[in-house]
Amino acid sequence: MSELHYQLDLLKAMNQKLTEKERMYHTVFESAVGAFLYHSLERNQVVTLGQWKEFFDFDIRDPKDLPRLLEAVDESYSMALRDVLYLEKTAQDTAFVECPLRETKIWLLFRARIYYGENGRPVDKVIYISNITKFRTQNEELTYMAYYDSMTGLFSRNYFVRLLGDYLRTAAETDNTVSVMMIDLDDFHKINDGQGMIVGDELIQQFGSYLKELCENWDVTGCHLHTDVYLVAIYGPSGERTMANLHKEIQQRVRRPFRLSNGQELQITFSAGVAEYPEASKSAIELINCAEIMVFKSKSMGKNIIQYFNTPVLQEFLRTAELESKLKEAVFRHSFQMYYQPQYFAGNKKLRGMEALIRWKDGQEGMISPAVFIPIAEKNGAIIPIGQWVVEQSIMQYAQWRRRFGHPFIMSINISALQYSREDFVDSVKEVIRKYDVEPSEIELEITETILIEDFQAVYDKLKLLREFGLRISLDDFGTGFSSLSYLKKLPIDTLKIDKSFIDTVLVDSATRVITEAIINMVKALGFESVAEGVEEEKQYEYLYSIGCDVIQGYLFGRPLAVGEVEAILASAWQ
């Protein structure tokens, strides 16, 4: 009897232990993030655990109910899910599949695992189901970001380069061509700076959306490279499907303004550059670079045009880039020299003064013309330190000559538009004048007509301050640019220089003579002094003198000279 009691107590203890384990397992399953489906293959029983009701509105009590899961997911995924649900029919231990629920945006992950008995037969199957919607969404967002530009819907820069590389490899195998066009909106910075980034961003978005639709219609590849720059690639251009026709299509669209959400309408133009494989380059990055170089060429030719790749343009660009690099080094080391060209009064041929002219002597290339390096310096901003150096050197040299030779004359110094636009320009010039203790009236600043275009009132205010300080002001290259007579009469200037282009043809072209004589008569009437530059022939001088030109400058009377040669002229000028 005691043995029977012992067996009963043992069974009770074991049942209690099993009940505790079962309770523990239920607790674990219920607290898990997900749902479980346990299938006893030996007993052919099914139990669902965990957060099952949060995923499905039905229960599965029998293996015959498993097809209900197939009906719950999107139909295109049902076959893949079937392989997971009936994993015991394959030779695999585990399997998984990601499926979206039917007519929802919810994604579920089904993971199945088979447990085998000692005889090698499947005994149990556990299917774990979890909600992966958040991870799928994040993954889709990352994928979209990797392949597409969020602002325009066009391909991203990195993916476009990858696609272009694929195009080039295919083109090499099939002996085909690939064309790339870069599109750069003209003067976009003025919209961005003047009307704000929100307006600028909406314009970029609208143009990009238009370009995306166009690329889809033309079956070509488009990309938003950055800010206001876009790329288009055509594999094997032929027939109507060429960059020239695509460019015409875009030109037709931009003739109509873009209407923004605030009702504002913006009219734009764009510059385009085209490079083609294999003529321009055989790599994706270099092909894009060549297209960009062509855009630079388009901009330099007046914008709103398309420029196709050719070797001379590339060589010119590379040459400019090389000079730009050398110029930066020259600015740092002050590797410049000052030359001076004499100016003479037309009547008595006595010395009126000198025009200060900068020269750059490179160690490898020798003398590099200012006509070559000054435009580069104006474009990259190097003209600011160069201009400051010229002002300093010219006034310092004049002070030395003034003390040495004891006779005043006019030192003319060229001022660039960028240099003049700086807020501290007037004060910096005054500071140099005081530093070297020279008379302001003996220094003449030469400004060009381009300075007048930006902000006439600001220009006028600075000129007025300079004149009040005692400096002379000369308007250079008159007749080649702005040439507004209404502004001319308002400007506080002393001298007007007639451009060399007039002097070159004044003896052979009657229209030029009429204009030149009109300028000189106008100058006299306004009380200014006239200077003709670029005078190279005696007959030019005689004609200019006969019509009343005040001052002559040019190779006829003197080329630009180094300091030593100028001193020889100054030593005999007033004897």
Clarify whether residues 162 and 84 are in a common domain: no
Spell out the residues 6+ positions from residue 30 whose beta carbon is closer than 8 angstroms to its own: 49, 50, 51
pLDDT digits (tens, 9 = 90+) for 34-64: 899 999 998 899 999 888 988 898 999 899 9
Co-location of 84 and 173 in the same domain: no
333 and 205 in one domain?
Answer: no
Q: What is the CATH number of the domain that holds 327?
A: 3.20.20.450
- Judge whether 185 and 270 are in contact, CB under 8 Å: yes
Q: Are residues 373 and 284 in the same domain?
A: no
* Distance in angstroms (rounded) separating the CA atoms of residues 38 and 47: 5
CATH number at residue 293: 3.30.70.270
Q: Report if residue 367 sits inside a domain.
A: yes
Structure tokens belonging to residue 198: 């929100």
Output the six-digit token pair for 268. Answer: 């734009």
pLDDT reading at 137 higher than 80: no
Greater confidence (300 vs 400) lies with: 400
Quote the distance between the C-alpha of residue 220 and its chain's center: 23
- Do 198 and 260 lie in a common domain? yes
When the pLDDT of each residue in the chain is averaged and rounded to a whole number, the result is 88
**Low-confidence winner among 333-337, 341-345, 567-571 (lowest mean pLDDT):** 333-337
Q: Quick check: 302 pLDDT over 90?
A: no
Measured between alpha carbons, how far is 209 from 437 in angstroms, rounded to an integer? Answer: 63
User: How many CA within 13 A on the CB side of residue 117?
Assistant: 8
The band of 21, judged by pLDDT with boundaries at 50, 70 and 90, is: very low
Where are the strands (E) in 133-228, listed by range?
A: 178-185, 221-226
DSSP string, 344-412: EETTT--EEEEEEEEEEEETTTEEE-HHHHHHHHHHHTTHHHHHHHHHHHHHHHHHHHHHHH----EEE
**pLDDT at position 20:** 46
Identity (one letter) of the amino acid at 410? I
Q: Is residue 9 part of a domain?
A: no
Mean pLDDT of 354-362: 93
CA 369 to chain centre: 29
Give per-residue pLDDT as tens, 261-290: 888 899 999 999 999 999 999 999 999 999
User: With bands split at pLDDT 50, 70 and 90, how would you rate the model's confidence at 369?
Assistant: confident
Instruction: In whole angstroms, give the CA distance from residue 104 to residue 86.
Output: 25
Q: Is residue 99 domain-shared with residue 170, that is, in the same domain?
A: no
Q: What's the maximum distance between 2 C-alpha atoms anywhere in the chain?
A: 152
Q: Are residues 125 and 159 in the same domain?
A: no
Is residue 7 included in any domain, yes or no? no
Choose one of 290, 309, 328: the last residue of a domain.
Answer: 309
Same domain flag for 156 and 238: yes
DSSP string, 23-54: HHHHHHHHHSSSEEEEEETTTTEEEEEESHHH
Q: CB under 8 Å to 26, separation ≥6 — which residues?
A: 49
Residue 23 has pLDDT above 80, yes or no: no
Tally of domains within the chain? 3
Q: What is the pLDDT of residue 480?
A: 63
Q: Is residue 14 part of a domain?
A: no
Same domain, 526 and 549: yes
Would residue 6 count as lying in a domain? no
561 within domain boundaries: yes
pLDDT of residue 509: 92
Residues listed for the chain: 575
pTM over 0.95: no
Question: Residue 17 domain-assigned?
Answer: no
Give the distance from CA 98 to its chain's centroid: 43
- Indicate whether 267 and 373 sit together in one domain: no
| Domain carrying residue 130 | 32-136
CA distance 557 to 433: 29
Q: What is the pLDDT of residues 552-563, one digit of tens each?
A: 999 999 999 999
Establish if 10 belongs to a structural domain: no
Pair 465, 324 in one domain: yes
Determine phi and psi for 465, rounding to 5 degrees.
-65, -40
Residues 190 and 328 in one domain: no
Rounded Cα–Cα distance for residues 498 and 405 (Å) = 30
CATH number of the structural domain spanning residue 107 = 3.30.450.20
Confirm if 203 and 153 have CB atoms less than 8 A apart: no
Residues contacting residue 545 through CB under 8 Å, at least 6 positions apart:
346, 347, 552
